[in-house]
Amino acid sequence: MMNLKKNSDSLLSGISIDRHKYQEGIVKLCVSLVCGCGLSLRSAIKIVKLINEQFHLGIKEIPCHNSIRNWIEKSGFFTYCRSELKTSDLPYGEIIDESMQIGSEKLLLSLGVKADKTDETPLMVSDVEILDISVEKNWNGALICNKLKETATAMGRLPDYVISDNASIMNKGIRESSLIHLRDLGHSLAMFLERQYKAADI
């Protein structure tokens, strides 16, 4: 119990953050509880309160849910700006797709993944990094091509390949960029099955 108490003291009384009243350890703990453990913001607060009471840490003020949400948003922006692929010269592949539409604007999401796969497990969210998020009212082949070039310029190197679905604008944009195009297998199989069912008139 004493060792656990000592480690908890060390965790929650660490480095002060400039212009901030909470210690770095408390911020890390709260963000980890939400992003790492899948807790809601208010559940994370309950856990911090419980730890504070059980180990007598003496935390005078527990962060509110708005503070924790703000930390999570800032950590997301930090991750976006400081990704491993962006700060290294590792070969990478790029995955692009129209992700969502809000009103009349469509979001194009570009994800990066290490080009050389080293195991047989499917890709997970933790395996990819955000390379770019862009919005247009109408994406077309020319815009897709330009966005691929802009992303490559920001990365300082071209991707080894680009993965996308079989949407015509993706096909055209990647073709005009002269990059290697790998079509998403799941989408390709779905289109094949769709044609088969249409032909069978089921």
> What's the mean pLDDT in 150-165?
95
Regarding whether 119 and 65 lie in a shared domain, the answer is no
Select from 81, 110, 138 the last residue of a domain.
Answer: 81
Regarding whether 107 and 49 lie in a shared domain, the answer is no
pLDDT given for residue 22 in this prediction:
83
Q: What is the CATH number of the domain that holds 144?
A: 3.30.420
- Give the pLDDT confidence of 106-141 residue by residue, as tens digits: 999 999 999 998 788 888 888 899 999 999 999 999
- Within the chain, strands assigned E span 92-102, 105-114, 128-136, 161-164, 181-183
- Give the pLDDT confidence of 3-59 residue by residue, as tens digits: 545 555 555 555 667 777 788 888 889 999 998 898 999 999 999 999 888 888 778
> What range defines the domain where residue 45 resides?
2-81
**145 assigned to some structural domain:** yes
Regarding whether 99 and 37 lie in a shared domain, the answer is no
CA distance 121 to 119: 6
pTM (2 d.p.): 0.68
Please tell me what DSSP assigns to residue 107.
E
**86 assigned to some structural domain:** no
Which two tokens mark 36?
């790492």
Quick check: 140 and 174 in contact, CB under 8 A? no
pLDDT given for residue 42 in this prediction:
94
